[in-house]
């Protein structure tokens, strides 16, 4: 299953599901009792996004023949996926998505979605390095209609969703150097000592990005060795 916008960025053997309005099949899927307890008392908007993004994840798990188990937060808040699965979830204003892969084929998957809007200056100063800022100037000349600084943030969020479950450690925005390409691909060089996990080095990660429908999306699917 390669759903919607997200499916354009991932390998064919990754199940991807997205939702734009909290009104599709994903939004209609009930929460497990354990999940419902996590959001008891939250505002309606937060409940909707929580429910829909887990519905997306359950549809993706089902597409791979994996159990649609409760998705509860583990270490550093990352969801604990059923045995045999790796995945990632994301949500932003008007968009929810999940991607799931077979753990025998992928070590980790990281996705993120953001509104295609410039970062607030206070945030950009913490996220964007001087080298990246110089590159963003060139990218703006290529296409001034994309919020390139927000895209760098989006990519770094995807990187963290790869890094955190594999290493169990924190990764600062300044620890990842992003190089975007106009063809919809990117490369990220980690500026900290990166371990080798199951024979796969994490020093450099590659992925794909997309700007469409007022959104910025990034995705990394890290294959096994």
CATH number, domain containing residue 163: 3.90.470
Confirm or deny that 176 is annotated as ligand binding: no
Q: Indicate whether 119 and 210 sit together in one domain.
A: yes
Tokens 């994903």 label which residue? 26
- Judge whether 171 is annotated as a binding position: yes
Q: How far, in Å, CA of 180 to CA of 131, rounded?
A: 12
Structural contact between residues 161 and 186, judged by C-beta atoms closer than 8 angstroms: no
Residues 28, 51 share a domain: yes
Whether residue 121 is found in the same domain as residue 208: yes
Can you give 130-198 as a three-state secondary structure string? HHHHHHHHHHHHHCCCCCHHHHHHHHHHHHHHHHHHHHCCCCCHHHEEEEECCCCEEEEEECCCCCEEC
In the prediction, which pLDDT does 113 show? 98
Same domain, 82 and 164: no
Distance CA 144, CA 137 (A): 9
User: Has 113 been labeled as part of a binding site?
Assistant: yes
Residue 77's pLDDT is 78
pTM: 0.95
Write the DSSP string, 87-117: EEEEEETTEEEEEEEETTTEEEEEEEEEESS
DSSP tag of 126? H
* pLDDT at position 1: 55
87 and 137 housed in the same domain: no
What integer pLDDT is reported at residue 181 of this predicted model?
Answer: 95
- For residue 223, pLDDT beyond 70: yes
Annotation-wise, does 91 bind a ligand? Answer: yes
Of residues 96 and 78, more confidence is placed in 96
Q: Which domain holds residue 76?
A: 6-109
Q: For strands 200-201 and 204-212, give the pairing.
A: unpaired
> Which tokens sit at 114?
């953001």
- The total domain count for the chain is 2
Same domain, 121 and 219: yes
Does 167 lie in the same domain as 89? no
For residue 21, what pLDDT is reported? 86
222 annotated as a binding-site residue: no
pLDDT at 23: 87
* 156 labeled binding residue: no
Residues 34 and 88 occupy one common structural domain = yes
How does DSSP classify residue 31? P
Is residue 10 predicted with pLDDT exceeding 60? yes
* Average pLDDT over the chain, rounded to an integer: 94
On whether both 38 and 77 belong to a single domain, the answer is yes
Residues 33-73: tens digit of each pLDDT: 999 999 998 999 999 999 999 999 999 999 999 998 999 98
Indicate whether 219 and 142 sit together in one domain. Answer: yes
139 and 153, same domain (yes or no): yes
Residue 121's CB is within 10 A of a number of other CB atoms, namely 8
């Amino acid at each position: 299953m390669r759903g919607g916008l997200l499916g354009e960025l991932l390998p064919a053997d990754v199940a991807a599901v997205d939702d734009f309005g909290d009104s599709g099949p994903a939004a209609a899927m009930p929460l497990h009792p354990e999940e419902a307890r996590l959001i008891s008392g939250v505002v309606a908007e937060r409940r909707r996004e929580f429910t829909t993004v887990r519905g997306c994840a359950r549809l993706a798990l089902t597409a791979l023949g994996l159990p649609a188990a409760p998705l509860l937060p583990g270490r550093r808040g990352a969801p604990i996926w059923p045995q045999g699965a790796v995945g990632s979830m994301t949500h932003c204003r008007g968009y929810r998505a999940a991607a799931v892969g077979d753990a025998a084929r992928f070590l980790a998957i990281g996705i993120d979605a953001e509104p295609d809007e410039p970062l607030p200056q206070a945030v950009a100063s913490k996220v964007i390095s001087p080298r990246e800022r110089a590159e963003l100037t060139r990218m703006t000349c290529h296409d001034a209609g994309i919020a390139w600084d927000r895209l760098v943030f989006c990519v770094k969020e995807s990187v963290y969703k790869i890094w955190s479950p594999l290493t169990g450690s924190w990764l600062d925005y300044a620890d990842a150097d992003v190089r975007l390409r106009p063809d919809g691909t990117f490369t990220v060089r980690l500026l900290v000592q990166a371990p080798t996990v199951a024979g796969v080095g994490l020093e450099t990660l590659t992925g794909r990005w997309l700007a469409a429908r007022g959104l910025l999306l990034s995705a990394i699917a890290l294959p096994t060795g």
